[in-house]
Amino acid sequence: MKCLLHHTCMEFFLDTADVDEIREIASWGILDGVTTNPSLIKKSGRDFKQVVAEIASICEGPISAEVTAMDTDGMVQQALELKNELPENVIIKIPCIPEGLAATKILTEKGIKTNVTLIFSAAQALMAAKAGATYVSPFIGRIDDTGHDGMTLIAEIMETWNNYPDITTKVLAASIRHPTHVLQCIQLGAHTATMPTKIFRQLIKHPLTDKGIDGFMKDWAEVEAAGKA
Name the residues that contact ligand G3P, by CB under 6 A: 15, 35, 37, 139, 141-142, 174-175, 194
Nearest distance in Å: CB 109, ligand G3P: 25
Q: What is d(CA 104, CA 6) in angstroms, rounded to the nearest whole number?
A: 24
Nearest distance in Å: CB 35, ligand G3P: 5
Is there a catalytic annotation at residue 93?
yes
Catalytic residue among 2, 43, 93, 130: 93
According to DSSP, the residues that pair with 135 across neighbouring strands are: 115, 170
Nearest distance in Å: CB 147, ligand G3P: 15
**Quick one: how far is CA 38 from the chain centroid?**
15
| 8 A C-beta contact, residue 171 and residue 190 | yes
Residue nearer to ligand G3P on the CB measure, 78 or 137: 137
Nearest distance in Å: CB 139, ligand G3P: 6
Residue nearer to ligand G3P on the CB measure, 78 or 175: 175
Residue nearer to ligand G3P on the CB measure, 87 or 141: 141
Residue nearer to ligand G3P on the CB measure, 103 or 174: 174
Q: What is d(CA 115, CA 63) in angstroms, rounded to the nearest whole number?
A: 10
Q: What is d(CA 143, CA 127) in angstroms, rounded to the nearest whole number?
A: 19
Q: What is d(CA 228, CA 165) in angstroms, rounded to the nearest whole number?
A: 59
Could you write out the three-class secondary structure of 41-67? HHHHCCCHHHHHHHHHHHCCCCEEEEC
Tell me the catalytic residues.
93
